[in-house]
A and B are shown apart, each in its own frame.
Chain A
Amino acid sequence: MRSPAGGEPPSITRGKARRGERVIVNVLFICAVLSVAVTVGIVAVLLVDTVSFFSDSSLVGFLTGTVWAPGQGAGEGGLYGMLPLLNGTLMIGVGSIVVALPLGLLTAIYLSEYAGPRVRGVLKPTLETLAGIPTVIVGFFALQFITPDLLRPIFGDDRVFIFNAAAGSIAVGLMILPIIASISEDAMRAVPSSLREAAFGLGASKRQVSLRVVVPAALSGISASVILAFSRAVGETMAVTIAAGNSPKMTWNYFESIQTLTASIAQTVRGEVAAGTVRYDALFALGMTLFLMTLVMNLISARIVRRYRQVYS
């Protein structure tokens, strides 16, 4: 293992050109930038047809109209007020949060503050499994169990429609429950144990520590999880389409059938829709609405997480 031969100093100038590496790094860069191309694609495709839509149908009518009744045939002469759809979406959104927030929070507190490792070892995979159930199957569950075997027996056959917003809310609520539970639990676990110890040291019970120390300290993470979950509920399509029906209307009765923004898109494409018609363009107007709604909510959620992460780091 001798050093390189005697008198000649080892050369340290650039040896064989490693141009191949530069090519590779460029390829990798392109892969990363492709994600930007995707966003551009989404925005472009939504924008083009939304603009086309508003050239045939009034924007004001879209934003304030209370009837959604796409025209038949060539797509002319329909009413395109999206408020009933927005109404439906919000009903599902709020309803699913009503289901998922208490359950998710209780689960998170339990997992973070009370449960031992063995229980966690069972519960966490269960939550992950729940999150992994495809939405069509959850929709089937809503239609075949939640409505006939849960809602109707309790509230009466005459009150509860076959397709109703409550079943949709419960179904979506089950799907977003893991989001709230998991992110809230992470937020609670991130609360420094010194805070808990201080409270315990003063003689507080576990309940008091959980509710008065941990939950308030983790509030930003919990809020972020709720907004994220709501965003997910807004974007949810299949379970809602199957369970909540396809009747766009302005109502607050959860036992009636409604239609969400997403379900409207799904229903429309099931039929024949010719490109270039108002009905076709309407799809993209709805898509744009959804995109903007979820974008805003995701940004708010991320901002909350960022702002309050510094508090404990």
Chain B
Amino acid sequence: MTASADVLAPSRLRRGATRTGAKIFVDVAFSVLLFMGTIVGVIALATLIWTIFDNGWERLVADPAGFLTSYVSRLPARAGIRAALVGSAYLMVLTALFCFPIGVGAAIYLEEFAPRNRVTNFVEANIANLAGVPSVVYGLLGLGVFARFLRMGPSLLAGALTLAVMSLPVIIVAAREAIRAVPDGIRLGAYALGATKWQTVRRQVLPAAMPGTLTGTILALSRAIGETAPLLVIGLPIVIFTLPNDLRDPVSALPLLIFDWTSRPQPAFAAAAAAASIILLALLLAMNAVAIFLRNRYTIRW
């Protein structure tokens, strides 16, 4: 007993009293390990970005206008992303048009109007499951239902519908969270004035939830833009020399092109793929920046 009393005496509060050197070393080593483990992710990201730029920057700045405005070619030096870039832009707009209203509508219904019963629970569980379905399976859905069964073929319409369906669960979740964040006092205040439920939702809840909803939507769309597998499976073309005029026209997409060029052995195509990746990353950066700007500027601080 005397020994431990000795060890725990107040005068021995300095480091090393009960924690031996070995233990302290382990503690410090652990912190270092943690930091290094975390840094690996950061380094990986940095290396990835560096690799893309290292491979693609020269190709891009050598002839940026040409790169952006030329169609694909067998010669890597002449190949450009025009059709793919325009195609991606069209796809994004059309996808947004489809999935935003439906996603927000579903979210409003589930948060404000749905009764707590088995049907509602089933719908909610279903949406949660859809969020985890691999993108290639959505591609198969697009192929079987939109392209073949509904005879849309590998078109802008089929591509946008497929991407929209894929983005729907994400938007529903984001919109629901934004709606839930609106304090109940607002609803009660509106009801107490004699507003109906829909009037309350439309004029108070939804406007207040809009910044969060838009942020989530933009993030969902930015993910959709980078998706290759669904469009690949539907059969959207990589080699195409026209821009779409009609919903039923075939359309290409940037990630599809990157995939094709990456798969080619010639180093010049690798450079082209990297250059196209820079453009794609820039696009994503811009969209995320807009989303974050919206969130910071317009979110209501209750």
Which A residues lie at the B interface, using CB under 8 A? 18, 21, 24-25, 27-36, 38-39, 41-42, 45-46, 48-49, 102-103, 105-107, 109-111, 114-115, 123, 126-127, 129-130, 132-141, 143-145, 174, 177-178, 181, 203, 205-207, 211, 228, 231-232, 234-238, 241-242, 262, 265-266, 269-270, 275, 283-284, 287, 290-291, 294-295, 297-299, 302
Contact = CB atoms under 8 A, between A and B. Distances in A.
Given A35-B172, A134-B280, A138-B48, A28 B113 contact: yes
Contact of A126 (B41, B52, B263): B41
11 contacts: A27-B105, A31-B102, A34-B102, A103-B38, A132-B226, A134-B284, A140-B273, A144-B270, A235-B134, A242-B263, A265-B140
Contacts, number: 249
B26 A137 contact: no
Contacts of B48: 133, 137-138, 141, 145, 174
Interface of B: 18-19, 23, 26-27, 30-31, 33-38, 40-42, 44-45, 47-48, 51-52, 55, 101-103, 105-106, 108-110, 113-114, 122-123, 126-130, 132-141, 143-145, 148-149, 165, 168-169, 172, 196-198, 222-223, 225-229, 232-233, 235, 255, 258-259, 262-263, 270, 273-274, 277, 280-281, 284, 288
B141 to A, nearest CB: 5
A284 B140 contact: yes
A97 to B, nearest CB: 15
A108 B51 CA distance: 27
Given A28-B106, A49-B144, A205-B23, A140 B52 contact: yes
Nearest to B37: A106
B209 to A, nearest CB: 14
A126 B42 contact: yes
A102 B229 contact: no
A139 B103 CA distance: 31
Contacts of B40: 103
A83 B136 CA distance: 19
A237 B229 contact: yes
Contacts of B223: 132
B136 A265 contact: yes
Given A145-B47, A262-B134, 18 more contacts: A35-B106, A35-B126, A35-B130, A42-B137, A42-B141, A45-B140, A46-B137, A110-B38, A134-B284, A136-B258, A137-B258, A144-B270, A174-B41, A177-B41, A235-B134, A242-B259, A269-B232, A295-B129
B228 A237 contact: yes
B45 A126 contact: yes
Contact of A31 (B37, B106, B135): B106
Contact of A32 (B27, B55, B106, B136): B106
B38 A236 contact: no
B277 A137 contact: yes
A139 B134 CA distance: 17
B228 A134 contact: yes
Contact of B227 (A129, A134, A207, A228): A134
A178 B44 CA distance: 12
Given A38-B168, A265-B136, A287-B140, A28 B109 contact: yes
